[in-house]
Amino acid sequence: MRKYLESLGYALQAVVLEGKRGIRSVFKGIPVQMCQFHQWSIVRRKLTLYPKLPAHWELLHIGMEIPRLSEGELAHKLTTFEKKWHEFMNEKTYIIGCRRWYYTHKKLRSALYSLKCNLKHLYTYQQYPELGIPNTTNSLDGTFGVLKDLLRVH
C-alpha cells in the first residue's frame, strides 16, 4: 500500500498506527506514532478497569497518564514500577506432576512489556512538532463514521 500511494505521487510525512504487529517495518524512514488511545486500550484489556492486585492498579494508573506524560517521564515510571514489582512479576506457578511452569502474573507482564515495546513510538508527535502529527487515530476514526453514515443514506 505504501508503494502504491507513493507511486500516485503522495509523499508520506508521518504515520499514526493502532499498534498492529509488523506494520511499523513497512514505514521505515518515516516518523511512526503509536496511537496513545490504542495503547491505553491494550493496557486496560490486559489489567481490566477494576484489578484486584496493587501492582495491577499501579500499572493501570501509569497507563492512564500516557497522554499527560513525556517519553522520559513514562520511561522513568515504567523503570520504577519494574524495580518495585520485579519479584512479584517473576513469580512462577508450577504444574503439578511435571517440570513445566508459567508466570503467575502473565497479563501484568504483558501489559508492562507492551508499554515498554511501544514507548519510543508513543511520543513521536512531540519529536516532530512541525509535522503536526496527532497522538491518536481519533480524527481518522471519526472520518470513517461520517463516511459510513453517507453510505447508509445513499
Give the sign of the dihedral formed by CA 137, CA 67, CA 90, CA 104.
Answer: negative
To the nearest whole number, what is the mean pLDDT of the chain?
90
Give pLDDT tens digits for 28-56: 899 999 999 999 999 999 999 999 999 99
Query: Residue 140's pLDDT is what?
Result: 58
Element (H, E) at 143: helix 138-153
What residues contact residue 54 under an 8 Å CB cut-off, 6+ apart?
none
Nearest to 33 by CA among 140, 151, 144, 150: 140
Whether residue 67 is predicted with pLDDT greater than 70 in this model: the reply is yes
β-bridge partners, 33? 16
Query: Residue 85's pLDDT is what?
Result: 98
Give pLDDT tens digits for 124-147: 999 999 999 998 876 655 555 666
Q: How far is it, in rounded angstroms, from Cα 144 to Cα 4?
A: 21
Whether residue 72 is predicted with pLDDT greater than 60 in this model: the reply is yes
- Return contacts of 45-49, CB within 8 angstroms, 24+ apart: 46/107, 46/108, 46/110, 46/111, 46/114, 47/107, 47/108, 47/111
**Least confident segment among 18-22, 39-43, 108-112, 113-117:** 18-22
Whole-model pTM over 0.85: no
